[in-house]
Amino acid sequence: MVFLQGMTLENHSGARAVLKAPWAYRMLQALVGKSRALRHLHESVWSIQPGFKLIDIGCGPRPMLDSIPFSIDYIGIDLDAAYIASAKAQHGNRGTFLIGTTKDYMDDPRMHGADLILCNGVLHHLPDLEVHELIDFVAKHLKPETGRFTAIEPCHLVFESRLSTWIMNQDRGRFVRSEEAWKQLFSENAGIVYRTRIMANMIRIPYFHVIIDCWKKQ
């Protein structure tokens, strides 16, 4: 069955339906080695500095607050109310947790001047139109010059094993794109500059990810 969440299409058919429960989602993440992946991302990709304003789009039920400095001004946004409730129950005193999408907070002054906007495993849930809206949000709210947006998304390679293709196609997100397609989406916004990098073996299953970094155009 396909659920419409706002404009978002997600595949919740078969065994995927159980992932709507925050505990099941957390268990799957533990199985695929999410903690190890998070350590690597902290050390080599995100570089979160004390005092940063950090917006975590699609923060999910278990935001990364255990592993970042207390001085971070953290805003987590997720359209799933149960995930936001779970995040608040764990970390309610450490940040602001908001239900909705970037479209809902486009004109919210709390978003201005972000040092880092993260989007982990979210864009492949969104059709092109919603990705464009999210990039508009990024272009509007990133701090000029130093502010950075980083997304990490599943990505099909020009050549990959059938097993990898099959596993990535089991994702609840219906928009696992090729690197070329990810680049195309980001190249269509004149307000940003971006780069992509491919990452293999980040988790314990044969999956590929693209890291998309972008900055406000000066």
Ligand X SMILES: C[S@@+](CC[C@H](N)C(=O)[O-])C[C@H]1O[C@@H](n2cnc3c(N)ncnc32)[C@H](O)[C@@H]1O
Q: Are the beta carbons of 7 and 130 closer than 8 angstroms? A: yes
CB of 145 to ligand X, least distance (A): 26
Residue choice 54, 55, 65, 79 for contact with ligand X (CB under 6 A):
79
Residue closer to ligand X (CB basis): 40 or 193: 40
Residue choice 53, 54, 65, 101 for contact with ligand X (CB under 6 A):
101
- Could you say whether residue 77 binds ligand X (CB under 6 A)? yes
CB of 211 to ligand X, least distance (A): 13
Residue closer to ligand X (CB basis): 88 or 193: 88
Residues in the chain: 218
Residue choice 53, 91, 125, 156 for contact with ligand X (CB under 6 A):
125
Q: Are the beta carbons of 133 and 182 closer than 8 angstroms? A: no
Question: Residue with structure tokens 């709210």?
Answer: 141
Distance from C-alpha of 107 to C-alpha of 105, rounded to nearest angstrom: 6
Residue choice 46, 53, 78, 154 for contact with ligand X (CB under 6 A):
78
- Tell me which residue of 196, 203, 208 sits closest to 163, measured CA to CA: 208
Residues 3-42 that bind ligand X (CB under 6 A): 8
Neighbouring residues of 198: CB distance < 8 A, sequence distance ≥ 6: 155, 157, 179, 208, 209, 210, 211
Binding site for ligand X (CB under 6 A): 8, 57-60, 77-80, 83, 101, 120-122, 125-126, 130
